[in-house]
Amino acid sequence: MKSPARTQGALSRRRFLAGASASLLAAPALVAPALAQSGGSGDVDIAIVGGGAAGIAAARRIAAAGRSYVLLEASGRLGGRARTVSVFGRPVDLGASGFSRRDSTLAAAAGEAGLALAPLPVARRLYAGGQEANEGDYDAFTLALGRLRRDIVAAGDAGRDVAASSVDTAGGPWAATAAALVGPLACGRGLAGLSTLDLALRTPAADDVTSPLGVGAMLESLGAWLNVQKDAPVTLITNAGRTSTLAIRGQRGVVRARAIILAVPAATVVGGDLRFNPPLQTRVAAAFRAFPAGQIEQVAFALPGNPFQLGADEPVLARVDGATPGMLWPGMLRARLGGSDVYRLSFGDEAAREIAAKGAPEAQRRVNAWLKTAFGASAPDVAQVQSSNWSTDPLFRGAMALATPGQAALRRQFGDPLGRIFLAGDYTSVSQWGTLAGAWNSGEAAAARALSLVTGPS
Ligand SMILES: Cc1cc2nc3c(=O)[nH]c(=O)nc-3n(C[C@H](O)[C@H](O)[C@H](O)COP(=O)(O)OP(=O)(O)OC[C@H]3O[C@@H](n4cnc5c(N)ncnc54)[C@H](O)[C@@H]3O)c2cc1C
């Protein structure tokens, strides 16, 4: 007789095969929540906690291997920090909005599922003093950014793990803008709080591709056929020898698993609602605490009639006036999403924290001030915005995990299993942290390791 676990594994395999063709439709009806039917309890080979890119990639790998699994997601949707919302009648990503085509198998997975991808322009338009920058400005910005990156990499190569602000020798009118691009806009924190080593080890390629559906919707589609239990926040993971049990808030039963892939954001592993029995070792908990999250929030709004004559999806940066701190907080605009009248402006660090704390009125105020500083006093006001809230959402607690200066070497620790628990998520990647590709790759890697544990001698 087949064990319950193997039977479920066979079902998962069939679902996978069905999904390979049916994922075009991404029909929710294909999801067969086996554990939900049994009141939330059950035995599986591998339980995956967290349905973002890492968790979805892991679950797909395990389903393909024919093992039993369940993907437990706290919220009502898959995708995590890739979230597509409908704004002014079109899909808009308020989290990850693009990714590098060649740095993971994500683009290939989308292609196999029949989900089209669209190229994203990577060259930025620069504005200063209300008008487009001149050629000299473009050169000065490129020089400032190149110098800053060179200084950071040189420090990292020399093994110096210090605050990135302390090695920044770039001067000139565009130095503050380059610093803003590397710090608050890309990571959600200023250079003073970023580690040279952590930045130097990171080699993300430019996000050169997006999904016309929205990257969040694309991920939901890639996970639609998996054995997922949504609205299932895991609150306690208990090690019980050769199995572990997972308690889910609001459910009487537990899930028992031979291995666990923990694919939740770093900030929720410690300081969140998730507990471990026995507790995480002091060394492990300290490593997590050395990686507090940076803050990035995005604001979407409509501007009819292409008032600034920008191309579809063009990224725009406005010069940050370093001499007058606070005169203009840095922002990065993505214009005319997919050729539409909808725009998205990203803010980092303090501005993002304020937006998360105060909501839409603050987001609207900052958007209008940014547009006027970038494009001049005649820039139209926007009357309605929709903003993200990653910083205060308890399931995320920020945008991405960043090493405190001096602590970057600890990131490697996240590659070590905690007994039968394998960590996955963007923060576990030394070279691709804070990226969708890094998260996807980490999920596949964790799945391979969990599979070898459950298929090996037990
Ligand atoms: C504003 C913003 C813009 C970004 N832009 C880009 C970009 O353009 N390109 C790029 O490559 N990257 C970008 N990123 C980074 C990218 O979004 C992340 O690196 C990636 O999505 C992380 O995936 P993940 O699976 O590691 O984690 P997440 O996507 O955070 O998934 C974790 C999942 O765990 C769930 N969870 C949490 N706690 C529990 C629990 N107790 N039980 C069960 N489930 C739980 C959460 O609900 C979530 O679904 C951006 C991030 C932000 C915030």
Ligand 1 close to Cβ of residue 434 (< 6 A): yes
The 10s digit of each residue's pLDDT in 384-427 is 999 999 999 999 999 999 999 999 999 999 999 999 999 999 99
Which are the contacts of 377, defined by CB distance < 8 A and separation ≥ 6?
130
- Contact 315/287 with Cβ under 8 angstroms? no
Position 357 pLDDT exceeds 60: yes
- CA–centroid distance, residue 223 to ligand 1 (Å): 15
Closest CA to 171 of 190, 200, 146: 146
Cα torsion 421, 431, 286, 267 to 10°: value is -70
Residue 402: how many CB atoms within 10 A of its CB?
28
- The dihedral through the CA atoms of 328, 332, 338, 339 has a sign that is positive
- Contact 205/103 with Cβ under 8 angstroms? yes
Which are the contacts of 325, defined by CB distance < 8 A and separation ≥ 6?
none
Closest CA to 120 of 134, 104, 101, 136: 101
User: pLDDT grade, residue 41 (50/70/90)?
Assistant: low
**Stretch 242-252: mean pLDDT, rounded?**
94
Q: How far apart are CA 182 and CA 199, in angstroms?
A: 9
pLDDT at residue 129, rounded to an integer: 85
Backbone angles phi, psi at 137, to 5 degrees: -65, -45
Residue 378: how many CB atoms within 10 A of its CB?
8
Side by side, which strands form the sheet with 315-318?
131-132, 125-128, 315-318, 331-334, 342-348, 296-302, 385-387
Backbone angles phi, psi at 147, to 5 degrees: -65, -45
**Stretch 103-108: mean pLDDT, rounded?**
96
Ligand 1 close to Cβ of residue 57 (< 6 A): no
pLDDT at residue 21, rounded to an integer: 32
**Hey, which of 264, 275, 421, 422 would you mutate to test ligand 1's pocket, going by the most ligand atoms within 8 Å of its Cβ?**
264
Question: Domains of the chain by range and CATH?
Answer: 4-82+215-290+403-455 (3.50.50.60), 125-205+296-387 (3.90.660.10)
Position 19 pLDDT exceeds 50: no
pLDDT at residue 395, rounded to an integer: 97
Q: How far apart are CA 266 and CA 182, in angstroms?
A: 21
Length of the chain: 458
The share of the chain scoring above pLDDT 90, in percent, equals: 83
The 10s digit of each residue's pLDDT in 134-184 is 999 999 999 999 999 999 999 999 999 999 999 978 788 999 999 999 999
**Stretch 337-344: mean pLDDT, rounded?**
97
User: pLDDT grade, residue 439 (50/70/90)?
Assistant: very high
**Stretch 1-16: mean pLDDT, rounded?**
33
Residue nearest to atom 34 of ligand 1 (CA): 50
User: pLDDT grade, residue 322 (50/70/90)?
Assistant: low
- CA–centroid distance, residue 277 to ligand 1 (Å): 25
Position 32 pLDDT exceeds 80: no
User: pLDDT grade, residue 42 (50/70/90)?
Assistant: confident
Quick one: tokens of 127? 């504005």
**Report for 28-32, 222-226, 320-324: range of highest mean pLDDT:** 222-226
pLDDT at residue 324, rounded to an integer: 53
Position 37 pLDDT exceeds 70: no
Residue nearest to atom 1 of ligand 1 (CA): 95
